[in-house]
Amino acid sequence: MARVEAAGACAPAWRGGFGRLWSAAVLSSFGDALRTAALPLLAVTLTDDPLLIASVAACGYLPWIVFGLLGGAVADRVDQRRAMWTVDVVRGLLVAGFAVAVALGHASIALLIVLAFVLTTLQTLFDNASTALLPVLVHREALGSANARLMTGQRIAGGLLGGPVVPLLLTAGAAVPFAADAVTFLVAAALVASLRTAAPERKPRPAGSTLRREIAEGLRTLGRDRALRGLCAATALCNIGMGALIATLVVLVTGWLDAGNAGYAAAMTAYTVGSLAGAAANRRLTDRVGRMRAVLVAGAVQTGALVVMGSVRSPVALVVAMAVFGCMGMVWNVNTTTLMQQRSPAGALGRVSSAYRTLAVAGAPLGALLGGAVATAWGANTPALLAAAFFVLSVIALIPARKPDVPVVAPDDGATTVHVNG
């Protein structure tokens, strides 16, 4: 087994920029939760057509498939810090304008669809730039802890705080959640703009280099690395299963289990609490078995949780299974993100990240359609079992990818040493 050790870099320092980046990410997650919860509630007041309502949600996937690779290539060309705060300013102004339209009674389904599409298109640049910026702010060996802290803060802000606040804000008016979201974008932009990072060091682009060629190089880099290739394939398969589960979970809880809205809320709360537990337990697990093996363990345990969801007709069993599923999902997310940051060559992380995300996200809408089809044909519990089957395939895809936790490109920081143990 291999380990990468860096002196004094086990956890990220809150000073030096990470604290501000964390604050901006958590604040943005809170605002996103407000908007995500408020949009469908607004949509159902504008139309009773399920297809139109679903189209608003679909726009959360489509831009990643269309523009995800382009966003990563641009993120590698520009100053990531500047790209992030600029995107947040634009998103803040767009959502503020939408809040005004809602307040004046000019909202429409078409406007909701356009807003969702444009915001997610901008997010393709923001997320890839954010992934590439984090290794600039923290030591490479501290990336796992930094990612865990980021994801924990985002899950608390978005999962525990954002959603419950929406009904309170709506009592003040339909536009209020969107106005609050606009404020979070602008404050987050100010926090990111205040970061003081060195100018990114990039090799001069070869003559005749184009975005298309740079995107292709990112795809080749992802394809050449066995670990990243396996992680990407496994995540894509998981997302097909996740799409099937998420699209039909409310039917599983309120229909097959007859647990009502309270049961659905309990299941989602259990998932969030489990995620927080996963962030706390992740470091101990990865120290014991390594990052890649931790991902394998997470996928295997999640498979078992899905089998319980689809076969045990008990609300209590569902809540426990959702907590376990959320716990291992956080372990999966933290370690796959960290491995991608550690293994990607310098100057190519944005493109590798975008290729990974685009290929992985593409499975979610397919899974949603499959979940709806199997639920219609064989019952509301079958999408969970279908998801379990895809998670089994994802674990199989990971087995050939097991490799020592050593970056492809070792950091030249003078503090990192690599020890390989048989």
- Evaluate whether 286 touches 144 at the Cβ level (below 8 Å): yes
Listed in sequence order, the residues at least 6 apart from 292 whose beta carbon sits closer than 8 Å to its beta carbon are 227, 335, 339, 398, 401, 402, 403, 405
Mark whether 180 and 220 lie in a shared domain: no
DSSP string, 155-205: HIIIIIIIHHHHHHHHTT-TTHHHHHHHHHHHHHHHHHHT---PPPP-PPP
pLDDT at 422 over 90: no
120, amino acid identity: T
Mark whether 247 and 324 lie in a shared domain: yes
- Determine phi and psi for 420, rounding to 5 degrees: -110, 120
Per-residue pLDDT at 246: 82
Mark whether 30 and 112 lie in a shared domain: yes
Per-residue pLDDT at 199: 53
Q: Report if residue 420 sits inside a domain.
A: no
Q: Report if residue 101 sits inside a domain.
A: yes
Q: Report if residue 417 sits inside a domain.
A: no
Mark whether 171 and 220 lie in a shared domain: no
Mark whether 373 and 225 lie in a shared domain: yes
CB atoms < 10 A from the CB of 384, how many? 28
Mark whether 241 and 386 lie in a shared domain: yes
Cα 284 off chain centre by: 22
Q: Report if residue 415 sits inside a domain.
A: no
Mark whether 47 and 143 lie in a shared domain: yes
Least Cα distance to 323 among 265, 381, 278, 387 occurs for 278
Q: Is 380 helix (H, G, I), strand (E, B) or coil?
A: coil
Mark whether 376 and 234 lie in a shared domain: yes
Angle separating helix axes 109-137 and 143-155, nearest 10 degrees: 150
Q: Write down which residue in 164, 195, 226 finishes a domain.
A: 195
Mark whether 234 and 183 lie in a shared domain: no
2, β-bridge pairs: 420
Higher pLDDT, 3 or 29: 29
Per-residue pLDDT at 45: 80
Q: Report if residue 309 sits inside a domain.
A: yes
pLDDT at 254 over 60: yes
Two structure tokens written together for 414:
């003078």
Q: Report if residue 421 sits inside a domain.
A: no
Domain with 64, as residue range(s), is 14-195
Q: Report if residue 161 sits inside a domain.
A: yes
Q: Is 10 helix (H, G, I), strand (E, B) or coil?
A: coil
Mark whether 169 and 314 lie in a shared domain: no
Quick: pLDDT tens for 194-222: 887 665 555 555 555 677 777 777 778 77
pLDDT at 50 over 70: no
Average pLDDT over residues 175-189: 92
Q: Write down which residue in 152, 168, 195 finishes a domain.
A: 195
Domains identified in the chain, total number: 2
Buried b (16+ CB within 10 A) or exposed e, 317-331: ebbbbbbbbbbbbbb
d(CA 206, CA 138): 29
Mark whether 164 and 218 lie in a shared domain: no
DSSP string, 219-244: HHHHHH-HHHHHHHHHHHHHHHHHHH
Average pLDDT over residues 123-146: 81
Return the CATH number at 362.
Answer: 1.20.1250.20
Q: Report if residue 233 sits inside a domain.
A: yes
- Evaluate whether 276 touches 158 at the Cβ level (below 8 Å): no
Mark whether 131 and 263 lie in a shared domain: no
Average pLDDT over residues 270-285: 90
